[in-house]
């Protein structure tokens, strides 16, 4: 079955993402570390499959940029959550990790 088990890696990732409060974000590496893993890539795989069920836009890259291919969409949701953003001169918007990163 495609339904994940309670102890499945994917469920842990989704659980961490759901635990991210509005207005703050976590990097893929932070989410992986939160579940005791070192695979930010595997976290991205889970997001690509089940991300639609969680606040995927609160999970960004270490660069402060949102998920690749969903940047514009993420910025809208981040703005709605009141996430501190920094706009570049060329219009590139990124999250202020120093202020929004969960600690």
Residue 87 binds to DNA (criterion: CB under 7 A): no
Q: 8: helix, coil or strand?
A: coil
Choice from 16, 24, 27, 34 touching DNA (CB under 7 A): 27
CB of 22 to DNA, least distance (A): 16
Give me 46's structure tokens.
């889970």
Size of site (CB under 7 A) for DNA:
32
C-alpha angle 22-86-73 in degrees, rounded to nearest 5: 55
Q: Find the shortest distance in angstroms from Cβ 32 to DNA.
A: 8
Three-class secondary structure of residue 101 per DSSP: strand
For tokens 């994917």, the residue is 10
Q: In the stretch 37-76, what mask flags binding to DNA with x, by CB under 7 A?
A: xxxxxxxxxxxxx-xx---xx-x-xxx---xxxx------
**CA distance linking residue 70 with residue 67, whole number of Å:** 6
Provide the binding-site residues for DNA, judged by CB under 7 A.
Answer: 2, 8-10, 27-29, 37-49, 51-52, 56-57, 59, 61-63, 67-70
């Amino acid at each position: 079955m495609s339904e994940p088990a309670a102890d499945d890696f994917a469920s842990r990732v989704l659980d961490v993402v759901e635990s991210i409060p509005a207005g703050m974000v976590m990097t893929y590496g932070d989410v992986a570390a939160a579940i005791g893993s070192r695979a930010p890539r595997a976290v991205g795989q889970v997001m690509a499959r089940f991300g639609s069920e969680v606040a995927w836009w609160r999970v960004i890259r270490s660069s402060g940029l949102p998920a690749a291919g969903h940047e514009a969409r993420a910025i809208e949701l981040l703005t709605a959550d009141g996430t501190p953003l920094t706009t570049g001169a060329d219009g590139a918007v990124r999250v202020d990790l120093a202020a929004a990163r969960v600690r």
